Amino acid sequence: MSQPGEIALVDAARAGEIGAEKPFQLDSRVVHDGRIVHLSIDTARFPDGSTGQLELIRHSGAAAVVPLLGDTADADPPVVLIRQFRYAAGGDIYEVPAGRPDRQGEPWKDVARRELEEETGYVARDLERLTTIYTTPGFTDERIHLFLATGLSRGTVGLDDDEFMEVITMPLSETLRAIEDGRIIDGKSICALLYAATFAR
């Protein structure tokens, strides 16, 4: 453990994973154990050696996919997006396909492949890992693993009962304009699209 005053750097390969070491956690009391989130009150040791209580939402994590119709070498490939009803956002928002594991330990690439087909009806020939992000590290350990999907072919849609969405396509350049003008406001989608446009092409 780091000494008081030192900054502990996060190991990106393990941080937030189920079973990963939590060196700052002294105690944890579960307040709510739900289908998607688990709320606890944790007693933590801070970098200066003091202790305090923090509310923490634990989450299984998710995978999100930027699906390209075409090739990364294309000048302006169409991107497959979904327009999805989100109760917390107060209506429909544009997103890249994403979802949670079906079981503990499911490989993130498998999660990405499955969610892409279930939500859009497309199957990816190739999946490239982009990066991993924390969504809101101020109060949750949720991480989303971002992928780029190419070589798409038709598969089968399989939506859950509480999923209401429409599949649309938009040129990659238009997704960037939509981020700039506020049409795309979903955090994971902004990260995934900007990363794909900047580093993966």
Please name every residue paired with 80 in a beta bridge, in sequence order, or none if there are none: 169
What residues of the chain score a pLDDT lower than 50? Answer: 1-2, 4-5, 13, 18-19
- Give the pLDDT of residue 2: 47
- Give the pLDDT of residue 201: 64
- Give the pLDDT of residue 49: 92
The model carries a pTM of 0.86
Please name every residue paired with 131 in a beta bridge, in sequence order, or none if there are none: 146
Burial class (CB in 10 A: 0-12, 13-18, 19+), 44: middle
pLDDT digit string (tens) for 108-127?
A: 999 999 999 999 999 999 99
DSSP alpha helix (H) spans, the chain: 108-120, 172-181, 187-199
Domain residue limits, the chain: 1-59, 62-199
- Give the pLDDT of residue 3: 52
For 3, the token pair is: 């000494």
- Give the pLDDT of residue 20: 55
| Second CATH level (architecture) for the domain 62-199 | Alpha-Beta Complex (3.90)
- Give the pLDDT of residue 19: 47
